[in-house]
Structure 1
Amino acid sequence: MPDIYDPTVEQALQAFISDHPEIDTRDQAVAAILTNWFTNHGYLPHAQEGTRPEDLDASNDD
């Protein structure tokens, strides 16, 4: 993908990639950034852990 962003955004993107060794490509970095932004702004649901409401019963009580 060619550099399509402002040079300061490109620099920030490269810094993000450097700080996240699990991210190998520029596309993965952009996807991670967008997923984070969309989640934090309510466009994507937050990942939740735990027992789903329909799976709750008395055996789940602690």
Structure 2
Amino acid sequence: MVGRLLFVHGAGGFVDDAELAHGLAGALRLELRMPELSDTAMGFEDWAEPVRQHLDRLGPD
């Protein structure tokens, strides 16, 4: 089984943080999961719900 990395980018940083996320995942030999979070709706639930969904998909491993 391949390990997975869930990378949560900074506010408005999906594009800017992509190089860092890919480099980190590559160095650690992990499959990258990097959801694109809203750069306009930045309330807690606006980001928490997509992160929860990705965590659920990752499963317990």
Greater C-alpha radius of gyration:
1
Q: Which has the higher helix share?
A: 1
Alignment TM-score > 0.5, same fold: no
| TM-score, normalised relative to structure 1 | 0.28
Higher relative contact order (CA 8 A, sep 6+): 2
